[in-house]
Amino acid sequence: MAESMIEVRGVSKDFLLPHLRANTLKTRFVNMFRKRRVMEVQHALRDIDFEVREGEFLGVVGRNGSGKSTLLKILAGIYVPTSGYTVSRGRLVPFIELGVGFNPELTGRENVYLNGALLGFSKTEVQEMYDDIVRFAELEDSMDQKLKYYSTGMYVRIAFSVATRARAEILLIDEVLAVGDTAFRRKCFDHFHALKRRGTTIVFVTHDMAAVREFCDRAIMIEDSRIVANGAPDYVAEEYAKLFSPVAQDAKAQGAEAAEAEMAESTRWGEGNVRYTNVRVPELLSDGEAELVLELEAEAQTDCLDPVYAFVISDSDGTAIMGSDSLRKTRRCEALAAGDCVTMTWAVPNVFSDGVHSLEVAIADRQGLTVYDSWKDAATFTVVKEETTPYVVTPDTSFTLRRIGD
Amino acid sequence: MNLRTRLHTRFRYPVILLRAMVSTDFKLRYQASVLGYLWTLLRPLALFTILYLVFVRLLKIGASIPYNAIYLLFGIVIWGLFSEVSNNGLASLVGRADLLRKIRFPRYVVVVSIGASALISFVLSMVVIVLFMVLARVPVRLDILWLPLLFIELVAFSLSFAFFLSALYVRYRDMSYIWEVVLQAAFYATPIIYPLSMLPVRYAKILMLNPMAQIIQDARYCLVTPETVTMTQLFGTPWVRVIPVGITLVMIVTSLGFFRRRSPYFAEEA
């Protein structure tokens, strides 16, 4: 059994909420005279306990604000835990993001040297690897340009190219490392795999379940600042999907119904002339099902001449994948009188990728000037596909290979 | 492992970082200026000219002191180092917050890099002063050998403020305003633009306990003219210097201790 490279034991991290922190002498002065010190503490992490073995590729997943990035910063030694401790038995790469310390006013060349220094390379060492770095980034002609004139793609390429030079036994990667277009992401992951083959231990924080399934040996899920799942990537990815399914939300809602209602309100707005009264979406969409069927009901509160019904489906990253509206389909609007109820059905071919998707529905007037009802996250559904790809959609594809001349 | 390799492994990364920060700072400072690095010499030269015209020609301050122009400039250059290190040092951690939040590296490098940048402009100003001294044919005495020690004291004293203030500023942003006022007051409480002989001995003695006053007067004595009032003349013994030197030592030890104690939290607070 490989020995553990990173040990995390009973780590908790508390933050004082920024607006309550005594940032100026005045607030400190004022607080002195308050009877009760108002100190709201935010528990970013509670009692985190796990280890990472040598050569392991560990995924850390969780929703926004669950504490994943804080955990990564504690592992990197940037934050100190409030209690508990971490041990790492290997050289850690000192940073967790690409292009840290890049200065837009300096040229690409100067930034390579600067970033190299942050990685711990002396000037001569950077000189030796400089040509390789530039070639890998495919930026031979732009190195004497100031960084502020670089496109995002160029910026990421040069930053990544320097970062690949890091000599470390443990790599900590926040998902921002894996930005860029799909081809570039592929290049990133190829690089991580090459590192892994050399025995590098990798901790990877992400939202992307497809990446977790494809690359990680093991994953942990953090929810509400605690570890709630730790195991095989497939198992953790399923647990993650459950977070977004209505069942899990119901279970959660028992404790905090009011908060839930408030959440629903904050994602729903509009004039209210016509409102959706019922949104029915299957909870689970498995491989066998050819179509996703959305059944919606709406009721008019007042007379309404020209309602247009629309929907958008987003993936777990929040990227809108597809959508449509009634005007595109029928080219006309059915006027409603107060009290009228309508029901409608959308059928969408099952092209979705594996993971949780959310549905946004809306009703607006013909010109789109008045929004009657806009409801973000009206429902979520989980798609389970045998075939996982890192792309936004995964339609049924077929492939045949035939030798020519047979 | 011998001491050399031990020091090498321990300080390799800090030294690389320090170099990168100082050179970046330097590149950025003179970017997009036509004369570029020439400004590092032109700037002190132009400032000296103004000071010379105002204080020596117009106000005729310290006219009794030999080489009074160089005397004045030297004092101002020394004060300049202190004020640059403490002022820039104060804002240094907050200014590098992006690095602090994303990279693990020894935090003191940020403050030391400010000191190093200031030291570079100090050395360039000294080049200008030496140039003036040659032109004015100022005689060089053996006392000049004390200067390195005085400069070490100066750098240590200035850095102690930089360390203390930078760590404090992360928490209390009022410090920049407070320090601006304190620094201005300290400038006038130090015999820089007025001769110490202007004051009653009682007050002069108190002022001289300030390490900056001691450093400036001693440095002037060593480099410019022995007709300078230093602690030796005021108190009748050179050993009173243990007080300002002691203050400097206490300052550097306490502020380094404070900085070290606070440094784990810079990432979340800066």
- Over residues B74-83, mean pLDDT: 94
A16 and A81 both lie in a single domain:
yes
Q: Single out the residue of A222, A243, A348, A337 nearest to residue A285, CA to CA.
A: A348
Give a yes or no: residue B101 inside a domain: yes
DSSP per-residue codes, A103-116? -TTSBHHHHHHHHH
Are the Cβ atoms of B103 and A24 closer than 8 angstroms?
A: no
Give a yes or no: residue A128 inside a domain: yes
Host H or E run for residue B21? helix B3-29
pLDDT at A179: 55
Range of the domain at B231: 17-269
Give a yes or no: residue A213 inside a domain: yes
Q: Is A24 in CB contact (< 8 Å) with chain B?
A: yes
A235 and A353 both lie in a single domain:
no
Are the Cβ atoms of A96 and B20 closer than 8 angstroms?
A: no
Give a yes or no: residue B12 inside a domain: no
Please give the tally of structural domains in chain B.
1
In this structure, of A337-346, B48-57, B114-123, the range with the lowest mean pLDDT score is: B48-57
A195 and A283 both lie in a single domain:
no
pLDDT mean across residues, chain B = 90
Q: pLDDT > 90: what percent of chain B? A: 59
Give a yes or no: residue B95 inside a domain: yes
A191 and A293 both lie in a single domain:
no
Q: Which band of pLDDT confidence, cut at 50, 70 and 90, is reported for residue A1?
A: very low
For A21, name the nearest residue in chain B, comparing CA atoms only.
B171
Q: Where are the alpha helices (DSSP H) in A33-140?
A: 68-76, 108-118, 123-137
pLDDT at A245: 65
A163 and A286 both lie in a single domain:
no
pLDDT at A311: 93
Higher pLDDT, residue A209 or B32: A209
Task: For residue A342, give the 3-state DSSP assignment.
Answer: strand
Give a yes or no: residue A81 inside a domain: yes
pLDDT at A238: 86
Is pLDDT at B94 greater than 90 in this prediction? yes
pLDDT at A50: 93
Give a yes or no: residue A125 inside a domain: yes
Q: Which band of pLDDT confidence, cut at 50, 70 and 90, is reported for residue A19?
A: low
For B173, name the nearest residue in chain A, comparing CA atoms only.
A24
Last residue of a domain, one of A194, A210, A244: A244
Are the Cβ atoms of A120 and B13 closer than 8 angstroms?
A: yes
Q: Is A94 in CB contact (< 8 Å) with chain B?
A: yes
pLDDT at A26: 63
Exposure letters B11-50 (e unless 16+ CB within 10 A, then b): eebeebbbbbbbbbebbeeeeeeeeeeebbbeebeebbee
Length of chain A as a residue count: 406
A249 contact partners, CB below 8 Å, separation of at least 6: A260
Question: Half-sphere exposure of residue B251, counting CA atoms within 13 Å on the CB side?
Answer: 22
pLDDT at A174: 80
Residues of chain B with C-beta less than 8 angstroms from the C-beta of A94 = 103-105
Long-range contacts of residues A14-18, Cβ cutoff 8 Å, at least 24 apart: A14/A41, A14/A42, A14/A43, A14/A44, A14/A82, A15/A41, A15/A42, A15/A44, A15/B268, A16/A40, A16/A41, A16/A42, A17/A41, A17/A42
pLDDT at A35: 46
Distance of alpha carbon A154 from alpha carbon A231, whole angstroms: 37
Is pLDDT at B237 greater than 80 in this prediction? yes
Give a yes or no: residue A260 inside a domain: no
Question: Half-sphere exposure of residue A32, counting CA atoms within 13 Å on the CB side?
Answer: 7
Please give the tally of structural domains in chain A.
2
Task: Write the residue in A25, A26, A79 that is nearest to B267 by C-beta.
Answer: A79
Reading the block at residue A171, the tokens are: 């790599």
The most confident of A101-105, A208-212, B220-224, by mean pLDDT: B220-224
Task: For residue A170, give the 3-state DSSP assignment.
Answer: strand
Residue carrying the six token digits 């004497």: A144
Residues of chain B with C-beta less than 8 angstroms from the C-beta of A22 = 171-172
Residues of chain B with C-beta less than 8 angstroms from the C-beta of A25 = 172, 174
pLDDT at B204: 92
Host H or E run for residue B161? helix B147-171
Range of the domain at A282: 270-383
Residue-wise pLDDT for A66-109, tens only, equals 888 889 999 988 999 999 999 988 888 876 777 788 888 889 99
A74 and A170 both lie in a single domain:
yes
ipTM: 0.83
In this structure, of A151-160, A238-247, B196-205, the range with the lowest mean pLDDT score is: A238-247
Is pLDDT at A36 greater than 50 in this prediction? no
pLDDT mean across residues, chain A = 82
Reading the block at residue B180, the tokens are: 């601006």
Is pLDDT at B15 greater than 80 in this prediction? yes
Q: What is the largest CA-CA distance in chain B?
A: 63
Residue-wise pLDDT for A222-270, tens only, equals 988 899 999 999 899 888 888 876 555 555 545 445 444 545 555 788 8
The CATH number of whichever domain residue A366 belongs to comes to 2.70.50.60
Q: Is A78 in CB contact (< 8 Å) with chain B?
A: yes
**Best B104, B171, B179, B263 residue to mutate vs chain A (most A CBs within 10 Å):** B104
Are the Cβ atoms of B99 and A113 closer than 8 angstroms?
A: no
How many Cβ atoms from other residues are within 10 Å of residue A386's Cβ?
8
Q: How many A-B residue pairs are in contact by the CB < 8 A criterion?
A: 72
Residues of B within an 8 Å Cβ radius of A: 12-13, 16-17, 19-20, 24, 27-28, 31, 98-105, 171-174, 264-265, 267-269
Q: Single out the residue of A329, A319, A244, A310 nearest to residue A283, CA to CA.
A: A244
Distance of alpha carbon A75 from alpha carbon A93, whole angstroms: 11
Task: For residue A399, give the 3-state DSSP assignment.
Answer: coil
Are the Cβ atoms of B102 and A100 closer than 8 angstroms?
A: yes
The CATH number of whichever domain residue A151 belongs to comes to 3.40.50.300
Q: Which band of pLDDT confidence, cut at 50, 70 and 90, is reported for residue B153?
A: very high
Residue-wise pLDDT for A285-324, tens only, equals 888 788 999 999 999 988 888 899 999 998 877 788 999 9
Task: Write the residue in B12, B17, B172 that is nearest to A118 by C-beta.
Answer: B17
For B176, name the nearest residue in chain A, comparing CA atoms only.
A24
Is pLDDT at A150 greater than 80 in this prediction? yes
Reading the block at residue B57, the tokens are: 């020609």
B18 contact partners, CB below 8 Å, separation of at least 6: B109, B112, B113, B116
Q: Which band of pLDDT confidence, cut at 50, 70 and 90, is reported for residue B229?
A: confident
For A29, name the nearest residue in chain B, comparing CA atoms only.
B172
Q: Which band of pLDDT confidence, cut at 50, 70 and 90, is reported for residue A17?
A: low
A281 and A190 both lie in a single domain:
no
- Over residues A170-194, mean pLDDT: 72
Give a yes or no: residue B9 inside a domain: no
For A102, name the nearest residue in chain B, comparing CA atoms only.
B99
A187 and A300 both lie in a single domain:
no
